[in-house]
Amino acid sequence: MILTLVTSYGYLLHNFYPPENRRAIVFYDRTKEWKAGGNGKSIVAKSLQHIKPWHFLDIKNEKTGDNRFLMSGFTPDKQIVVLSDTTKDFELETLYNQITDGFTVEDKGVDKLMIDEDKAPKLVIATNYTICTTQRLDRSRIWFAPISTYYGEQEDLTGKTPADFHGGRLCDKKVLDTSEWSALYTTCVYCMDQYLKTAWSSSRTT
């Protein structure tokens, strides 16, 4: 489970984006419950903003009736798109082309923005709900990265949050000192290294 999370994080950080393996990374709670939360999915997803330019969408607060404008406000410099707190009725199919093909953005009153696939941002989905993968089209476009339920269980049992365990909010610019930033960047390099080793091993066996 840790290796899956590590290599998924490395995939998001690295610019290597093979056409045959373009996927959205799904951070989800490793639990049998239908809806859990509080285990750190958002912390992991939001940490990416300290490494690469990102575009953040809080889906539960977005008006998604017209999905053409879901990416409204996106700019070409962004390299990661985070869709946080997707709803129960979220449909992965609306992101098919964004994941595997060029990235297209529509906004009201302006020309359509089209980004070539080799420059397209990588997508992250953080969700409390199950995403259906019964169709091959779905399975080929997402990669599940499970998050342990440790923090959520500890909050239920002791009332402690991740900030209590770590002496402050993780990835908070106001509280991290130089050594902690160095540790973060070192971890990022490790994740990219593990991702590339895994991707290289997989390519040699296919």
Find the mean pLDDT for residues 120-147.
86
Residue 140's pLDDT is what? 85
Residue 1's pLDDT is what? 87
DSSP H or E segment with residue 86:
strand 80-86
CA distances to 36, 114, 157, 163, 170 from 154, in Å: 13, 45, 5, 12, 17
**How many structural domains are present in the chain?**
1
Range of the domain at 64: 2-204
Residue 206's pLDDT is what? 45
pTM of the model as a whole: 0.84
Q: What CATH number is given to the structural domain containing 46? A: 3.40.50.300
Nearby residues of 98 by Cβ (< 8 Å), 6 or more positions away: 71, 81, 104, 120, 123
Flag whether pLDDT at 173 surpasses 80.
Answer: no
Residue 10's pLDDT is what? 96
Nearby residues of 99 by Cβ (< 8 Å), 6 or more positions away: 22, 23, 24, 123, 141, 142
Find the mean pLDDT for residues 26-45.
75
Report the range of poorest mean pLDDT among 5-9, 101-105, 144-148.
101-105
